[in-house]
Structure 1
Amino acid sequence: MTAWALSLVVISAFIHATWNFLAKKSSGGTAFVWLYMLVSAVIYSPLIVIVILWTDVRLGWLELGLIFASAVLHILYAVTLQKGYQIGDFSLIYPIARGIGPMLIAVTAFFLLGEELGQLGWIGILFIVFSVFIFTGGLRIIREKNVLPAILYGLLIGCMIAGYSLLDKYIVSVTIIHPVLLSYGSIVGQVILLTPFAKKHWQEVRHDWKQLKLETIGVGILNPLAYILILIAMVTTPVSYVSPVRELSILIGAILGVVFFKENFGRQRIIAATIMVIGVIAVAIS
């Protein structure tokens, strides 16, 4: 990975943890997702105009279909993420979701694509699994009913992260769709898909905009920015390198949850996040 790509991924990790922190703080649902997607579509519209004017944009049915598929995966991820944040701790769900994604990518590549993972890679996977065990508080999962749903949401979100990461890597590197165009097209697709829900729950939309305006604008700006930086890095860098390095956000997210939300098991979760980052890096090196 070049120094340029590495810097993009590290900056993205800080931005990603920040917008997830704002999303958790909002405690919003699907209406909140529609609002911040609409904000993103408006704010980034000048950027997409520049891309269209200064690059050779060619969109056929295949490209439009792939962008639509990306939008569907991203909207499932966004809605599920907000639901998870409504029922579970940020310092629990966020690290699990972000750690499981790269592991699934590595395992999928091993079994389906025949890529060698190596001994270090399997050790890294064991580190990730062990860190998840620490995140849950060990065997306390058996005693506390509210922990298991949060863990399941974290695992489900991690599966979605792996899914859209693999698809979007294919789109930007094989079909040569510009990263900004892919990101913006996905955002517009999500706004369109969620508009019927927004119209049906307009009072909820108005309430969220009135009460969560700062969080909405913050996520609307930072969410696409974090992913655009990742897509740019993935144009020339394998997803198996990019995905693990960006999970530096795991440790950042755990610290934010403990410091600002005063969530339980603070030191334990920071230690678990550190172990998970080591595991993810081991998978990447392998």
Structure 2
Amino acid sequence: MSPWALVLIIVAAVAHATWNLLSKRAAQADGLVFVWIVAVAAAVVWSPLFAGFLLVTGDRPTWGDLAVIGGSTALHLCYFLLLQRGYGTGDLSVVYPVARGTGPMLASLVAVLFLGERPSAAGVAGIVLVGVGVFMLSGGLGGGGAARGDLRGLVPGLVVGVFIAGYTVWDSRVVSAFAVAPLMLNYLGEVGRALALTPVVLATRRRLVLPVWREHRWRIVGAAVLIFVSYLLVLIAFTMAPVSVVAPAREVSVLIAVVLGGRLLAEGDLPRRLLAAGVILGGVVAIALS
């Protein structure tokens, strides 16, 4: 893996774990309204950057670009809605690692079986270690048995992981095979989610918009900034390294999420989860050296 790609992935992991902490802290708000406001805020905050990108590069999205971006938007929309719903019932330090572990394992499997990518032996070992570590964090695979809180987060995490795998593989092809600029994919994805949810929010949840905004405005703005930054860096990394390497390596964020959940949300069982985090770290090192 390129050193620059590794740096991008690590910075993205920090940003990613942080916005998930913000989303978890807003988990008792209406999930659909929260996801919509975050998308609207991101579209507003990042509009000057996107306008500058269009002016400097002269790029304009073609109908083909919009079609593949639409597919990405649909996958991400399901991901965000299911993730927010999962945080309403499960711990950050359970839902997050299970989702992030399931996603890259499936993405890497698809990349190897259908995209012709061939990870080295060290890469395969790293992928396995990441998977073992994140499932230890969920209470399985030698983690001492799953507690009730672990079980509440297990199913949502697994379902979210399927969509993570889907958008990881799809978006890697959008920025590589279809040559869509990462910034364009990321920004138009935010706009697409906002537009897709607007009719539903205005028709059924209009009265909830102001209360959710007033209570969670700083979490919303923080998430809007960090979601965009974290995924933009990953999309750029996809142009430097294969998806079977980038997808698992970015899961170093589970280390950060476990510490955040244990220290800031008092979710407990930190020693066991930190032990599992050491397994993940070994996997990330193996992947980085592959």
For normalisation by structure 2, the TM-score amounts to 0.90
Change (3 A) 1:129 1:15: closer
How big is the shift at 1:213?
0.8
Q: Any conservation in 1 of the 2:130–2:248 contact (CA below 8 Å)?
A: no
Mapped to 1, the partners of 2:119 and 2:243 lie a distance apart of 14
Amino acid at match of 1:210: R
Identity %: 38
How big is the shift at 1:279?
3.2
How big is the shift at 1:186?
0.5
Q: Deviations over 1:147-197 (max 9, x none)?
A: 334111111112211111111111111221111111011110000111122
Change (3 A) 1:47 1:254: same
Change (3 A) 1:70 1:133: closer
How big is the shift at 1:283?
5.3
Mapped to 1, the partners of 2:116 and 2:241 lie a distance apart of 19
Mapped to 1, the partners of 2:48 and 2:212 lie a distance apart of 26
1:22 aligns with 2:22: yes
Q: Any conservation in 1 of the 2:87–2:95 contact (CA below 8 Å)?
A: yes
Change (3 A) 1:183 1:126: closer
Q: Any conservation in 1 of the 2:96–2:257 contact (CA below 8 Å)?
A: yes
Q: Any conservation in 2 of the 1:244–1:284 contact (CA below 8 Å)?
A: no
Q: Deviations over 1:216-242 (max 9, x none)?
A: 111011110111111122223222222
Change (3 A) 1:49 1:122: closer
Q: Which residue of 1 aligns with 2:278?
A: 274
How big is the shift at 1:135?
2.2
Q: How is 1:119-138 mapped onto 2 (pairs within 5 angstroms)?
A: 119-137=121-139, 138=143
1:203 aligns with 2:207: yes
Amino acid at match of 2:111: A
Q: Secondary structure at the match of 1:248?
A: helix
Change (3 A) 1:62 1:11: same
Q: Any conservation in 2 of the 1:103–1:283 contact (CA below 8 Å)?
A: no
Mapped to 1, the partners of 2:116 and 2:182 lie a distance apart of 27
Mapped to 2, the partners of 1:14 and 1:239 lie a distance apart of 19
For normalisation by structure 1, the TM-score amounts to 0.91
Change (3 A) 1:193 1:248: same
Mapped to 1, the partners of 2:167 and 2:54 lie a distance apart of 24
Q: Any conservation in 1 of the 2:119–2:245 contact (CA below 8 Å)?
A: no
Amino acid at match of 1:51: F
Mapped to 2, the partners of 1:95 and 1:66 lie a distance apart of 28
How big is the shift at 1:91?
0.7
How big is the shift at 1:258?
0.4
Q: Any conservation in 1 of the 2:169–2:243 contact (CA below 8 Å)?
A: yes
Amino acid at match of 2:171: D
1:185 aligns with 2:188: yes
Q: Secondary structure at the match of 1:157?
A: helix
Superposition misfits of 4+ residues, deviation over 6 angstroms: none
Q: Which residue of 1 aligns with 2:161?
A: 158
Q: Secondary structure at the match of 1:87?
A: coil
Mapped to 1, the partners of 2:230 and 2:71 lie a distance apart of 20
Mapped to 2, the partners of 1:114 and 1:174 lie a distance apart of 13
Q: Secondary structure at the match of 1:236?
A: coil
1:218 aligns with 2:238: no
Q: Which runs of 5+ in 2 are unaligned?
A: none
What value does the CA root-mean-square deviation take over the aligned residues?
Answer: 2.0
For these two proteins, the number of residue pairs brought into alignment is 284
Q: Deviations over 1:103-138 (max 9, x none)?
A: 112222233345445654554454344334422334
1:91 to 90, 93, 101: 93
Q: Which runs of 5+ in 1 are unaligned?
A: none
